[in-house]
Amino acid sequence: MQLTVWTYEGPPHVGAIRVATALRGVHYVLHAPQGDSYADLLFTMIERSDKRPAVSYTSFLARDLGADTAELFKEQARAAAERFKPQALLVGASCTAELLQDDPGGLAKALGLSIPAIPLDLPAYQRKENWGAAETFYRLVRGLAAPYAPGPDEELSPRLSDSPARANILGPTALGFRHRDDLQEITGLLERLGVEINVVAPLGASPADLARLGEADFNIVLYPEIADIAARWLERTFKQPTVRTIPIGYGATRDFVREVAELAGVDPEPVLAEARCRLPWYSRSVDSNYLTGKRVFLFGDATHVLGALRVAEEEMGFKVVGLGTYSREWARDIRAAATERGLTAVIGDDYLEVEKAIAEAHPDLVLGTQMERHVAKRLGLPCAVISAPVHVQDFPARYAPQMGFEGANVLFDTWVHPLMMGLEEHLLGMFREDFEFHGEAGPSHLPAGGRRATAEADEAPAETTVAVAAAPGQPAWEPAAEKELKKIPFFVRGKARRNTERFAAERGVSTITVDTLYDAKAHFGN
């Protein structure tokens, strides 16, 4: 067992809560000890949901372990059915209650409720949150849609030529990274293509909606970690093809539109022609040429990492120097992408190993989760969040999708803003000797204090020419080099120092001079 401060995914029952909360008319009864109700805060505090998640807890105490905890579960299940009047009830156990082996599924069946009670047997000590969400969604889809499946020899009725194609959108859940905004963006694309939306699930769907998933002509999987298993069952059962292109970035969105149009039998060109996406031009503009060759490290769930990989290389001109995922079920795809680029993928949920890989890769930008945001802050690196797990700031009040043409615009802004642009660097270089902006100048918004500090610095005795002693194993800095370093703006000065020291150490230089500083700058600038 490994003790950790951070975790990329919760236990499987958190994934089940995400699905239950996304649906309408579904309630989840979770056999769990007091304290496991912490999951409520994920939705009310982080996602800023205006309602509690659709879950009830048995909340048994230590003293209850000597009594009948199974009876506690039956009482809670009966009360939840009477109070919330759901169309379907999910029942399961948390990781702690799993050890009691009370069999929530069998207990719920014995109650003889008038609504379907779907048991969730989620192995808490072998699987994680996304698997739990995927398994819960699959159980619901299969349990509710299977009665309407055609027989082995039964032919499905073909769609009439004059009726619009109908599609299911699968994957969006509660607590999903930008799922609501992605859904709005993709829904708009489908409407412009003339494709009718049959069901969106889990987000906003009811059990009755899940029962009619088989009425669609094809499925669109936006988040494979959640919907892939259910989509493959629908393919086998209802012979529905699946759109698997994930529309993250300009190029992938165009491919997505063409794939949908082919299945729907419509012309994609009018929609592609009216696409309002600034990323292609912005990434080719003069100032953005400074981005070419920037070294980036990618980490997150497999869907967003692979989507970001294409955008980074093909649309932004970045050089990917590292990538990985915590989604072990999708490790094969990430390893294949890494191998193509001569890299070793980081697979796992140990954030310390991820931090080590980032430090060794020396990227200019980190694209990851909220974990990598903290790591990058410690390492003094720019970072943008591209994947769950996320925190409250990644559920913005504004419209900010990651998918579709508008999502491509959001990606450009989100990724570029942490980096110093070419024009910015030019202006900083132009004013580096200015009396108000040079490295030793006081804050310009303060009247006299800053100027007096500068005057006192000018009157200070001349500096010695002896190199400043360094820590063991680190090169020393000549005073002239230290003074030159101070001319670099404070917000990139730390990185310039680290790069120069690494440059010197790799070449066996014991004392850093002004020439060493500029040699390092030229080296890393290339």
Cβ count near 2 (within 10 Å): 5
Reported confidence tier of residue 60, pLDDT bands at 50, 70, 90: confident
Chain position carrying tokens 């030793």: 440
Give the residue from 222, 189, 2, 206 showing the smallest Cα distance to 85: 206
On whether both 168 and 271 belong to a single domain, the answer is yes
Q: What is the residue range of 76's domain?
A: 12-127
In a domain, 436, yes or no: no
User: Which residues belong to the annotated binding site for substrate?
Assistant: 422-423
Both structure tokens of 114: 């008038």
On whether both 164 and 203 belong to a single domain, the answer is yes
**Highest mean pLDDT pick, 54-63, 155-164, 293-302:** 293-302
Chain segment 19-34, per-residue pLDDT in tens: 999 999 999 999 888 8
Chain segment 171-180, per-residue pLDDT in tens: 999 999 999 9
Three-class secondary structure of residue 142 per DSSP? helix
In a domain, 424, yes or no: no
Chain segment 332-354, per-residue pLDDT in tens: 999 999 999 999 999 999 999 99
pLDDT at position 254 over 80? yes
Q: What is the CATH number of the domain that holds 516?
A: 1.10.8.550
In a domain, 155, yes or no: yes
Angle between helix 404-416 and 179-193 (nearest 10)? 140
Residue 481: what pLDDT?
A: 92
DSSP 97-118: GGGG---HHHHHHHTT-SS-EE
CA distances (Å), origin 6, targets 140, 248, 347, 372, 389: 31, 27, 16, 11, 10
Chain segment 426-440, per-residue pLDDT in tens: 566 666 666 555 556
State how many domains the chain has. 4
**Highest mean pLDDT pick, 452-456, 470-474, 520-524:** 520-524
In a domain, 355, yes or no: yes
168/158 Cα distance (integer angstroms)? 17
On whether both 17 and 96 belong to a single domain, the answer is yes
Radius of gyration of the chain (CA): 28
pTM summary value: 0.81
Q: Where are the beta strands (DSSP E) in 81-183?
A: 88-93, 117-120, 166-170
User: Which residues belong to the annotated binding site for [4Fe-4S] cluster?
Assistant: 36
Amino acid at 172: P
Determine if the peptide bond prior to 389 is cis (ω within 30°).
yes
92/132 Cα distance (integer angstroms)? 11
On whether both 301 and 413 belong to a single domain, the answer is yes
Query: Which one from 287, 333, 350, 519 is the annotated catalytic residue?
Result: 287
When pLDDT is averaged across residues 248-268 and rounded to a whole number, the result is 97
Cβ count near 466 (within 10 Å): 9
Residue 454: what pLDDT?
A: 45
DSSP 326-358: S-GGGHHHHHHHHHHTT---EESS-HHHHHHHH
Residue 440: what pLDDT?
A: 61
Cβ count near 336 (within 10 Å): 11
Q: What is the CATH number of the domain that holds 16?
A: 3.40.50.1980
Q: Is 287 a catalytic residue?
A: yes
Residue 496: what pLDDT?
A: 87
On whether both 103 and 199 belong to a single domain, the answer is no
> 186 forms bridges with which residues in the sheet?
none
Chain position carrying tokens 């619009």: 164
Residue 430: what pLDDT?
A: 60
Q: Starting at the earlier edge strand, list the strands of the sheet with 166-170.
A: 196-201, 166-170, 218-221, 242-243
178/225 Cα distance (integer angstroms)? 15
- With the CA atoms of 47, 49, 51 and 54 taken in that order, what torsion angle do they form, in degrees rounded to the nearest 10? -40
b/e 92-121 (16+ beta carbons within 10 angstroms → b): bbbbebbebebbbbebbeebebeebbbbbe
On whether both 91 and 30 belong to a single domain, the answer is yes
Three-class secondary structure of residue 397 per DSSP? coil
pLDDT at position 1 over 50? no
Could you say which of 275, 300, 331 is where a domain stops?
A: 275
Contacts by residues 337-342 (CB-CB < 8 Å, ≥ 24 positions apart): 337/306, 337/309
Residue 124: what pLDDT?
A: 80
Stronger pLDDT, 399 or 36, i.e. the higher one: 399
Main-chain phi, psi angles of 297, to 5 degrees: -120, 130
When pLDDT is averaged across residues 33-42 and rounded to a whole number, the result is 76
On whether both 336 and 412 belong to a single domain, the answer is yes
Residue 349: what pLDDT?
A: 92
pLDDT at position 206 over 60? yes
When pLDDT is averaged across residues 238-261 and rounded to a whole number, the result is 97
When pLDDT is averaged across residues 109-114 and rounded to a whole number, the result is 90
- Please tell me the number of Cα atoms within 13 Å of 36 on its side-chain side: 25
User: Which residues belong to the annotated binding site?
Assistant: 36, 422-423
Both structure tokens of 399: 């419209």
Report H helices in 167-206: 179-193
**Local structure of residue 468 (DSSP, 8 states):** B
Q: Quick check: 372 and 342 in contact, CB under 8 A?
A: no
In a domain, 441, yes or no: no
Stronger pLDDT, 74 or 161, i.e. the higher one: 74
Reported confidence tier of residue 289, pLDDT bands at 50, 70, 90: low
pLDDT at position 263 over 80? yes
Angle between helix 250-264 and 179-193 (nearest 10)? 50
Q: Are strands 55-57 and 196-201 parallel, antiparallel or unpaired?
A: unpaired
pLDDT at position 90 over 60? yes
The whole-chain average pLDDT of the chain stands at: 86
In a domain, 54, yes or no: yes
pLDDT at position 102 over 90? no
Residue 32: what pLDDT?
A: 86
Report H helices in 265-398: 269-273, 279-284, 302-310, 331-340, 351-361, 370-379
Reported confidence tier of residue 232, pLDDT bands at 50, 70, 90: very high
In a domain, 446, yes or no: no
On whether both 290 and 256 belong to a single domain, the answer is no
On whether both 400 and 289 belong to a single domain, the answer is yes
Reported confidence tier of residue 126, pLDDT bands at 50, 70, 90: confident
Cβ count near 421 (within 10 Å): 14
**Local structure of residue 204 (DSSP, 8 states):** T
On whether both 247 and 299 belong to a single domain, the answer is no
Among 73-87, 190-204, 321-335, 408-422, the least confident range: 408-422
Angle ∠(244,329,30) on CA atoms, nearest 5: 100
On whether both 295 and 408 belong to a single domain, the answer is yes
Could you say which of 275, 307, 338 is where a domain stops?
A: 275
In a domain, 432, yes or no: no
**Highest mean pLDDT pick, 52-61, 159-168, 472-481, 502-511:** 502-511
pLDDT at position 424 over 90? no
> 89 forms bridges with which residues in the sheet?
27, 117
Main-chain phi, psi angles of 387, to 5 degrees: -155, 155
When pLDDT is averaged across residues 401-408 and rounded to a whole number, the result is 97
Q: Quick check: 337 and 435 in contact, CB under 8 A?
A: no
On whether both 41 and 77 belong to a single domain, the answer is yes
Among 403-412, 483-492, 508-517, the least confident range: 483-492
Reported confidence tier of residue 453, pLDDT bands at 50, 70, 90: very low
Among 164-168, 451-455, 506-510, the least confident range: 451-455
Residue 368: what pLDDT?
A: 96
Residue 68: what pLDDT?
A: 76
Work out the percent of the chain whose per-residue pLDDT is above 90.
59
Could you say which of 399, 417, 435 is where a domain stops?
A: 417
Angle ∠(444,448,454) on CA atoms, nearest 5: 70
